[in-house]
Structure 1
Amino acid sequence: MNSIGLVTKLSDPMAIRATSELTEWLNKQHRRVTVTAEAAKAANISPKLAAIKPLEDIGEGQDLVIVLGGDGTFIGAARDVLRWKVPVLGVNMGRLGFLTEVSYDEMYDNLKEVFAGHYNVEDRMMLTAFIRRESGEVLSHHVLNDVVAHKGHLARMMEFQVSINGQHVFTSRADGLIVATPTGSTGYSLSAGGPIIHPRLDTIIINPICPHTLSNRPIAVPGDGQISFRLTQNEPDRLLTLDGQTGVPLLDGDEIVIRKSDRSLRVIHSPDRNYYDILRKKLHWAETVGTKRDLSLRPADDR
């Protein structure tokens, strides 16, 4: 792996500092580094140390993309690198992160292992979401975590009809509806009472948010199914949110169609760490009361 792209959470001073330090370290490892113009300016990176590309092209010609930030930064970067089929490594800069599973303190040792060929690549399922109107298809969007239908400003219920492969499954009144991938099962869906799904399983979660009828529970359906739903009540201020980052207003008569994408995201993992290790660490299943976590950056001379 000789060409490395970096994606930085620009609102995080720790991520900016880490980008500067990592760029210098990668140059010492004789790797070609590419960053965005915004990251280069924020981290004061010399043009001699890194090439500059727009974020949407950061994956072009790269052997690896490293994301410095949190899961939100990782999800945004996933859409930008998807077409290049480049593997992605997420470095968590302080908060809970299932996708950015490598801590900053582990980053340099982890990268040495990657450069030595000691790593696994896992393909993560993605979804494609469509909105169909009388005028035609108005949205086609790749999603790594989830598609969520919900009310906008007012906390009111919605009514929707859900079908799978054209067969009616249920009608529900709820605060909203989540359709999630196995990757997204540890996100919003988990907070809404959904199950944790291993990322290697080929399945999609349908999860009503706070349903009026308590028997409307989350269900997991085969990954090759096509899920569609319509809102049955004429109410304003309804939104479809994609990976928590893009919001699209929903109109009367809209049909939302969701199916497995023909693309997948390639994510790098250490072969010495399995999914259950990640769950135990991120959900603090093994911690005792009073355990403290050190979120400070390691000194540059301690690598």
Structure 2
Amino acid sequence: MTVNRIGLVVHGGRAEAVDAARTVRAWAAVHGVPCKDIDVWNDGGRHSSDEEVAAAGDPDLIVTLGGDGTFLRGARLAAHSDALVLGVDLGRVGFLTEVPARAVEQALDAIRDDRFTVDSRMLLTMRASRRLEVPSDMEGLMRYGRGPLLPPPQVRSDCEEDTEWGVPLHLYAVNDVVLEKLSRDRQVSVGVYVSGRLLASYSADALLVATPTGSTAYSFAAGGPVVSPRADALVFTPVAPHMTFSRSVVTAPNEAVGLRVLERSGQAAVSVDGQVRGVLEPGDWIGVYAAPARLRVVRLAPMDFYGRLRERMNLTDAPAAVADGTPPPLWSFRTPPPGDMAHLSLLPATLPGAEDAEPCAEAEDDDVAPAHGRA
């Protein structure tokens, strides 16, 4: 692939991320590729994705240097510009990032030489009954010590506004869209719709709609299912609901999930990938659905998602099962699969580069609020 311009999203609080950024800049200089830092915190404020991408000259490759929180920042930018995103792993969990910092130069060589595949991930977008804004007197409370909020989402110019279907918002969620209570002593009451039909009314701390990628983040912490990132689905999960039915609901990708704040409910905050983007009043609503755009992630080798799940979540085997024997690490053989299984996705016995793998750094990635977990 011809790399015409690189955008860098760096976790500036980590020395190893700053060092890796120097390596990327040096590689870009050797190969004559313009390289520019993208920093949503510039000039004491925060900027929209369109502003950031335009300032960086519309890069076709965005490299993130940090943990999964830093990756989410870069992914938000990449989704708006249809750029590829390469995640360099300097975090603690690392479900999203692809390569260790010491291998970033080799990763860039592989991209230049077309020795990579593209992992296409589902994104979420939404409409709302009105434009999203955070009241000025609440902004200080919503910062969580992380500086100014992102600006209000812009209205999409390529979609028609409609009094019944609402305002189309120009934003993408990699992990999740969350509707959460603002008052500590009062839950939010919300009517939840799937494909236009009322599913149930919930009184809960929060209600979230996640992508398969985000199923291992906040949704997982709230008791939701683990969904393969290769799947296309919406995962609705209530958080601490006051009702008997507290299960997640997994919908088809063409089934929208609507969340309407009930008339006597308190206010509710709308968060996108852990970033507060607006406050809803009783009677307001949002509709969350699969975005027409996709996130395009660089993969240099087959992703062992379930191996990562076992390792990063510290999954252990049931004592009774261990007493009955030890399973082999892979359910596959070194010979090709038989014809009736040839269409399946089965990992090879040894993953390329597995012998070079190294554990993630234990430093916390402070780009994502801890309550929202990791992707």
**Which of the five TM-score ranges fits, normalised by the shorter chain?**
0.7 to 0.9
CA 1:281–1:57: 2 relative to 1, 3 Å: farther
Alignment of 1:86-235 (within 5 A): 86-133=83-130, 137=166, 140=169, 141-235=171-265
Q: 1:167 Cα shift?
A: 1.1
2:283 equivalent to 1:253: yes
Q: Which protein has the bigger strand share? A: 1
| Correspondence for 1:25 among 17, 24, 27 | 27
What is the percent sequence identity of the aligned residues?
30
Distance in 2 between residues matched to 1:63 and 1:238, nearest whole Å: 37
What letter matches 1:12 in structure 2? R
What letter matches 1:185 in structure 2? S
Distance in 2 between residues matched to 1:274 and 1:178, nearest whole Å: 26
Determine helix, strand or coil for the equivalent of 2:172.
strand
Preserved CA contact (<8 Å) 2:224 2:237? yes
Q: Which digits, 9 at most, give the CA deviation of each residue in 1:152-193, with x for residues without a partner?
A: 251532221111121111122211101001111111101111
Determine helix, strand or coil for the equivalent of 1:160.
strand
Alignment gaps of 5+ in structure 2: 43-49, 132-161, 318-357, 363-375
| Correspondence for 1:70 among 60, 67, 71 | 67
Distance in 2 between residues matched to 1:36 and 1:197, nearest whole Å: 33
Determine helix, strand or coil for the equivalent of 1:225.
coil
Structure showing greater relative contact order (alpha-carbon pairs closer than 8 Å, 6 or more residues apart): 2
CA 1:92–1:155: 2 relative to 1, 3 Å: farther
Distance in 2 between residues matched to 1:83 and 1:11, nearest whole Å: 26
Q: 1:284 Cα shift?
A: 4.3
Q: Which digits, 9 at most, give the CA deviation of each residue in 1:179-225, with x for residues without a partner?
A: 00111111110111111111221210000001222422011010100
Determine helix, strand or coil for the equivalent of 1:279.
helix
Q: 1:9 — aligned with what?
A: 11
Report the TM-score, using the length of structure 2 for normalisation.
0.66
Q: 1:58 Cα shift?
A: 6.3
Deviates more, 1:229-238 or 1:79-88: 229-238
Report the TM-score, using the length of structure 1 for normalisation.
0.81
Q: 1:44 — aligned with what?
A: none
CA 1:166–1:37: 2 relative to 1, 3 Å: closer
Q: 1:122 Cα shift?
A: 1.4
Distance in 2 between residues matched to 1:55 and 1:155, nearest whole Å: 38
Deviates more, 1:190-199 or 1:56-65: 56-65
Q: 1:263 — aligned with what?
A: 293
- Paired residues in the alignment total 279
Q: List structure 1 segments (4+ residues) > 6 angstroms apart after TM superposition.
A: none
Alignment gaps of 5+ in structure 1: 42-52, 297-303
